[in-house]
Every structure is written in C-alpha cells, then in structure tokens.
Amino acid sequence: MNLAPIAQWGKTILKVSTLVACGLVFWLSGCARSPVSGDLSAVEALETARFISKQAPVVVSLSQKPEQVLSQIKGLDRPDKLLQNTLLDNTGLDYKQDIQPWLDGGGIWAMTSTDVDRQGENGQQPGYLVVLPTKNAQLSQELLEVYWQREAIAGQDLVFEPYKGTQLIYSQEENRISTTVVGSRFVLLANYSKVLKEAINNVQVAELSLGATPDYQELQELNSEKKEAISWLNLPRLAQKLGIQVNHPLYQALGMAVQLQPEGVLAQTHWLPTDPALLEGAEAPLNSSSLLAYLPSSSYLAINGVNLRQFWQQMQTETAGYGNISEIIRQPLLDWGKQWKLDVQADILDAIEGEYAIALLPDEAEKDLDWIVIRENTGESLSDRLDRILNQQGFSIGSFQLDDQTLVAWTQLIADPITDGEETAKSRVLKAKVQGVHTTLNQYEIITSSIAAMDRVLKAKSTGNSLATDALFQASIAPLPEVNQGYFFINWRSAQKPLERQIPLLRLVELATKPLFDPLESVAIASYGDAQERQADVFLNYTHP
C-alpha cells in the first residue's frame, strides 16, 4: 500500500480528531463540580466567572450537580469514585465529607495561567482555580477549618493571610491547595495562594474578568437552556501551554456547550475569530448524501462533504497562525507528493470540487488500512489525471473485470527475492503489485488502495451493507444537524486498537479516564456555520444500537 496519500492524511486526521474527542471526554471528567440542589443559571455562571481572568487558557463551568451529570452517561461505573479521583486526588479533601454538604449548584474550573511565577528556569507552573457556590457560608467555613486541622495534624505548616477582606489559608509547602471563602456565596480553591489573590483582584476590577467579556456572555446566554457544561478555550494561550507556535492566529477562542443525552455527550462548538472579516466563505451545505451508500459499514473512519478543494484551502488559512498544527495536517500529503512527484494541491485536491467521501477500513489481513476516495464526477476526471501522472512514473495502467464492473489498476512489477538453493537470478519471478484501483459507477469516481477494497465498495452499494444503513453510524449522527457542511465519523470500537498502535499517548489518556472510555462506541462530528462564524457539533456515542 505504497500509494497512500489519503491513508496517511486520514491517519493524521484520525489522530488529531480522536485526541480532540478524547479531550472532550477528559474535560467532562474533570469539570464536574457540584451536588445538592439547583442548577447554575446563565446569570449565576457569569457571576462565578468574575473570578476568572479573561486571559485564562481553559475555563469549564458546570450547571448541574456532578452526580446528576455523570449518572447520565450510560455504562459509567462508580461516578462518585471518578469524581473523587479526577478532581480531588492528592488534595486531602474528601468530596462527600468536605464539600458536598454546602455546595449549591454548579461551579467553575479554570487553568488561570500557563506559568504562575513566570520564571522560565523552573519550568511552567500552571495555575488552577475552582470557584464553588455555597448555600451556607458558615458551614463551608467550618468544614474547611476541619480539613485544615487534619492537614496541620499531618504535619503541614499553615499560613493564615488576610487579603482584601478575605482570609487565605494555605500550606507553606509549594503546589498545595489554598482556600478562601468570599462573602456568603463562594468558596475558592487553588493550587497557589497567588492564584486566589488574582481571582479576588478580578472581581474588584471588572474589565479583567471573563464574566465581563461580551463573547463569553453571549455563549452563556445562547446555551443556558441546553447545556450541562460550558467550556471556554483561549486558543492563543492554550497553544502556548501546548508548545504550539502562534503567529497572528485567526481564532481567539473556542466556546463549547456540553449537553448530556441518554445515548452520549453532545458538544456544540463555537469558533470565535479575531476578526470575522478574515473568514473565507462557508462551505456548501450537505443536505443529504448518496455517497454514504458506497462506504462499507466496516469503515473505521469516514469523511463526507462538498468541495474538498475549498475545505483544504480554508483549513490551511485558518490554521496558518498555529504553525505546528498546520504542519501536522499538511506534512503527510507533502511527503507523499514528493515521493511520487505530485503537486498534491494541483494534481489531486483541485479536482475534488463536488461532493466527496473518504474512508479508512481494515485490509483483508487486518494488519493495515485500506483507503477509499469517492468523488462526484464533475469536471476533469481525477482518475484520468492520475493515470497520466503515474504512467510517467513507471506504473502500468491496465483494465480488468470484477464481476460486471470494469476496473483500472495501477501496478508495478516487482521481482521475488532469490531463495536458498537458487544459483542464479534466472528463476526469479516478476509479480505485478497493485498500488491502486479506480472505476466509475453512476455519477461517481471511485478510487481505492486495493482490489479487495474496491470489491467491498461495490458490494456495499449492491447489498446495502453500507454506512447509509448502518445502525451505529445512524445513531452517531442522529443528534447532529441534518443540514451541515459534512460529517466526520470514527467507529471507536473497531478503530481503538489500530489507534493505540498509531498514538501511544492515547493509551495513557484512556487509562486516566478509563470509566469514560470503556463504554465509548463512536465519535461523530458535523460542521456548519456561515461566513461570520464557524461551528461544529461533536457527539460521543456511548450506546450500541
């Protein structure tokens, strides 16, 4: 499978998109912060966000009690244990004993800065802040005092520091929890006392806080009726934390509303540009797709959209400010283009202006991935163009019949190696190795990496065993908007093992959030929006139909 631009690019997209989906699960597992009574309204959420700097890289607010949130995820075992292990591990705090009795509704969690002390010589020391509403300030104060008494008995040297009408309590040991109660409504927890002081300053100087930011206010208001959590990512700041080079990024923030459904988790994303005038025109909508009927139901990954040429140009433009990300996306195709002396943009992508579909699926031996590309037959034929180019590269171009369908194969002659006992090379056998196959069916061009993959496409169409009728695929896209600019689908159950081989870090993420990964069946994404705003919905499906 040497001829594999789509396979390599597809693997890259699979890696990036899966890590994004994993990140959604991870944030959900780490954002729960409230039990007892009441939901956090949009007004209350903005009040809580007054403690958060508008420069904070990551902010997650929860509108409901964590038990309610986590219990809605089917197959999730021991949500109380997950809550304790993900939020309060290594703090000495016990959720049920120290927090639950006074907690009132939702709270907010934030990475307030990528480096609290701003001293590069000791590495990055992120600041973390949790703001929790209390229904009984006296009770919360008393239970926190009991907690600090336990810490003192355990040998911690405590500091009681008055600060602007509050009392900060923290250990002299670095990177230990710090607490304070503000007024009669809020309890603040942080990993540095400096983070608590900055939070109090933000309340006193409104223009410093995220709660006063118009875009954040709009995000809360738009999603106040249909979300369990709101996430806010300051993309330039987060990129800095992740070591991604940033230079005039197009997007300043990503807002995300997380809604729990009986079947899974729906995240509705809003990409906020630094200047809407810089956005290129929106992609054409995809009302329905007959191409899905050609994709085998065994596909690990499927992408369906309109005008790949425009999508590729738009993606390059919109990721240009994030150097590393742009290179991760572009490099597999550029490397392949150099290998085969192709201009990927001109020779391939520019030819796909109508509807298209791309899929990855296991090969016959289930050791590697086959790829499928289907395009609406508009303009110059992509396969004819590739025939000419590959013929110049020394490939043989020949046609043959598969059942009643005429196929064209790209082949290379390869000599078998000399085996033991052979005195000369005269007995060596030349074999034709198939590097790709294409055909035209109805109004579509179909290109695959192997004859077996083409056979599966043709059978999917003739037998109906395709994604168009697949119960898992249909369940995965059901919560997404019917009118959109394209689908992205991962069959997690089937793709999990290949992905773990491709992305070793993924296994560590799975172990860290095992209760949330174990029941995951699939991930589906649909993009939509207009020239002023980019949006996408991500659905994590936990139910197998």
For the chain, give the number of residues: 545
- pLDDT tens-digit series, residues 383-439: 999 999 888 888 899 999 998 899 999 988 777 766 655 555 556 677 778 888 999
| Residue range 499-523, pLDDT digits in tens | 777 667 677 767 766 666 778 899 9
Cα separation of the two ends of the chain: 34
Phi, psi of 495 (to 5 degrees): -90, -10
Q: How far apart are CA 388 and CA 383, in angstroms?
A: 9
pLDDT over 70 (residue 101): yes
* pLDDT beyond 70 at 77: no
Helix (H) or strand (E) segment spanning residue 88: none
Question: SS3 for 250?
Answer: coil
CA–centroid distance for 44 within its chain: 28
C-alpha torsion angle, residues 72, 78, 79, 84 (rounded to 10): 180
Query: Does 187 score more than 80 pLDDT?
Result: yes
Quickly state the pLDDT bin for 321 (edges 50, 70, 90). Answer: confident
pLDDT at 477 over 80: yes
Q: Which ranges of 340-480 would DSSP assign to H, the alpha helix?
A: 344-347, 382-392, 451-463, 471-477
When comparing pLDDT for 86 and 198, which is higher?
A: 198
Of 88, 99, 75, which Cα lies nearest the Cα of 30?
Answer: 88
pTM, rounded to two decimals: 0.79
For tokens 């056998």, name the residue: 429
Q: Is the separation of the CB atoms in 107 and 132 below 8 Å?
A: yes
pLDDT at 294: 95
Contact present, 126 and 241 (Cβ < 8 Å)? yes
Kindly indicate the confidence band of residue 158, based on its pLDDT and cuts at 50, 70 and 90: very high
Under DSSP, is residue 257 helix (H, G, I), strand (E, B) or coil? strand
What is the pLDDT, as a whole number, of residue 288?
64
Separation between Cα atoms, residue 366 and residue 23, nearest integer Å = 28
**Tokens 């899905």 belong to residue:** 292
Rounded to whole angstroms, the Cα distance separating 217 from 209 reads: 11
Q: 527, 307 in Cβ contact below 8 A?
A: no
Check residue 34 and give its pLDDT.
30
